[in-house]
Amino acid sequence: MTDIYNLDNVTQANNLWEFTREINTLTGNLFGVLFLFVIFLIVFITFSKMDIKRTFVISSFVTSFIGVLFWSIGFIQFAILLIPISVLVISIFVLLIMD
């Protein structure tokens, strides 16, 4: 029986960096995007006791910071990086205008 996926590169990974890089390559860079989304959700749920506007600012700031790190190591593309940065700018604008 033939394998559906070629997992040769994943099984030969020597460390966590090589493993996650190969998973990101095999998923078509979707792993990095979903990882950022999960980070946003975790931070948002963690700070959900606060005001919703401040929670959005904190969550988008953390996601933008980690997104810049992911972009610098080639884990996500620049177009994807613009999404959390845009959410950060919009959430800061809403926080300043609405308060």
**Does the global pTM surpass 0.75?**
yes
Q: What is the DSSP letter of 74?
A: T
Host H or E run for residue 11: helix 8-11
Q: How far is it, in rounded angstroms, from Cα 75 to Cα 12?
A: 20
Residue 19 banded pLDDT, cuts 50, 70, 90: confident
Q: What is the pLDDT of residue 3?
A: 55
Host H or E run for residue 65: helix 52-72
Q: What is the pLDDT of residue 6?
A: 58
Q: How far is it, in rounded angstroms, from Cα 94 to Cα 88?
A: 10
Residue 2 has pLDDT above 80, yes or no: no
Q: Where are the domains of the chain?
A: 29-98
Q: 42-47 contacts: CB < 8 A, separation 24 or more?
A: none
